[in-house]
Structure 1
């Protein structure tokens, strides 16, 4: 398919639910091509991703989907390769896939730490490295990574040892990429959400945990995925072309202290 068919080609990892799904639905439009990634290839994962893809297609976007475990060697490069093969270009990359795992340092094992680094900063580095030639030739080159408040707020009663370390490393890589790609007018930024509601809201089983999470933030509420998606969409837009190398918090004030 000719690159002239699209105004932009966007890769979104972790697009099957939550922030990634909300972003895909927000930016879907005619002359926009979306490569939507999800990790699992099970029936539930495929069903969720297919629903997101259908919603985006209904808004006029051209959509392709891909299942890959970013912890596996070569998976990030495969996503970029498939995007370039399918659409002939890659203008914008959103590294949203990741996870938060409560775990103390005392309970941390080497395998868990390695997996966290492979899925988050490791995959980000591989995605950007493989996508750099395409990004450098794009008139709308943008990269956005999704971090977390856990890289900035440390509490003994809510430990995220591996996730916090991985997200902190991710933010460092964002700044390195921003410095290296600035000469080509490619911006690289990071958003750091706080507690964010899941697809269908908190379940009755963990309602008390969600209530506690809301109370932890000065604004006393949980973010909606669409709110975080709106910030990412802005960073992908032309109006944000002078913003790069930033970590922008959207956490209801959690990172204040």
Structure 2
């Protein structure tokens, strides 16, 4: 399909659930092309991504899917390549795939730290590097990386040693990208969610953990994925064209002090 058919082409990693899925559904519209990524490690993961794609298609968007574990060498580049091969352009990149793992520094081993850095800052750097030439020629060039409150809030009773380090590195790389891409009109920002409701998995059903998260959040409630997606959608819009190099918190006041 000709690139003239689309107002923008967006690649969203980690789009099978949570924030990524909420964002895809929010921005899906006629003349929008979406490349939706997930690990696709099992049939359930693929089914979830297919369901998101179906919802987006019903809203008028042109959707395609790509699978790959971003911890693996070449997976991030493959996602960008597939976007360009399918739609002929890439205007906006949302690096949402990632995870939060409770882990003390004392229990951290080299393999766990290396895996966190490969999956988050390593993948982000590879995505941006592969996408740069396409972003630079776009009239709507945007990059948004999803970070986390754990890179800004340190508690001995809630340690995220590897994840916090990896997310902090993502934020640093995003600022570097913002400086390098600014002359081409491309904005690069980070969104740092607080506790955000899960759609699936054991943590989604852990009532006591969610009670503690609610109590820790000054506004008195945890976020829904749609709360985070709303800010990302704004940062992708033309109205946000003068915002770059920022880390914006959506955490209910969690990092106030």
Cα separation, partners in 2 of 1:204 and 1:106, compared to 1, 3 Å:
closer
Shift of 1:203: 6.9
Contact kept, 8 Å, 1:193 with 1:249, in 2: the verdict is yes
Moved more, 102-111 or 199-208: 199-208
Find the counterpart in structure 2 of residue 43 from structure 1: 43
Is 2:245 aligned against 1:245? yes
Find the counterpart in structure 2 of residue 116 from structure 1: 116
SS in 1 for 2:249: strand
| 1:11-22 equivalences in 2 (<5 Å) | 11-22=11-22
Cα separation, partners in 2 of 1:4 and 1:122, compared to 1, 3 Å:
same
Contact kept, 8 Å, 1:202 with 1:210, in 2: the verdict is no
Find the counterpart in structure 2 of residue 224 from structure 1: 224
Is 2:172 aligned against 1:172? yes
Contact kept, 8 Å, 2:198 with 2:204, in 1: the verdict is no
Segments of 5+ residues of structure 1 without an aligned counterpart are none
**Distance in structure 1 (CA, Å) of the matches to 2:234 and 2:141:** 13
**Distance in structure 2 (CA, Å) of the matches to 1:216 and 1:139:** 41
Shift of 1:43: 1.0
Find the counterpart in structure 2 of residue 30 from structure 1: 30
Cα separation, partners in 2 of 1:228 and 1:204, compared to 1, 3 Å:
closer
* Count, aligned residues: 257
Shift of 1:220: 1.1
Find the counterpart in structure 1 of residue 65 from structure 2: 65
- TM-score w.r.t. length of structure 1: 0.98
Find the counterpart in structure 2 of residue 86 from structure 1: 86
Shift of 1:110: 0.5
Deviation per CA, 1:92-147, whole angstroms, max 9, x where unpaired? 00000000000000000111100100010000000000000000000000000000
Find the counterpart in structure 2 of residue 130 from structure 1: 130
Find the counterpart in structure 2 of residue 2 from structure 1: 2
**Distance in structure 1 (CA, Å) of the matches to 2:111 and 2:31:** 43
Segments of 5+ residues of structure 2 without an aligned counterpart are none
Shift of 1:200: 6.0
- TM-score w.r.t. length of structure 2: 0.98
**Distance in structure 1 (CA, Å) of the matches to 2:150 and 2:204:** 24
**Distance in structure 2 (CA, Å) of the matches to 1:204 and 1:177:** 34
**Distance in structure 2 (CA, Å) of the matches to 1:126 and 1:175:** 15
Find the counterpart in structure 2 of residue 212 from structure 1: 212
**Runs of 4+ residues deviating >4 angstroms:** 200-205
Contact kept, 8 Å, 1:31 with 1:61, in 2: the verdict is yes
Q: Please, what is the CA RMSD of the aligned residues?
A: 1.2
| 1:139-218 equivalences in 2 (<5 Å) | 139-199=139-199, 206-218=206-218
**Distance in structure 1 (CA, Å) of the matches to 2:171 and 2:182:** 16
Deviation per CA, 1:215-257, whole angstroms, max 9, x where unpaired? 0011111100001000000000000000000000000111111
Deviation per CA, 1:68-111, whole angstroms, max 9, x where unpaired? 00000011111111100000000000000000000000000111
Shift of 1:40: 2.5
**Distance in structure 1 (CA, Å) of the matches to 2:116 and 2:213:** 23
Contact kept, 8 Å, 1:141 with 1:186, in 2: the verdict is yes
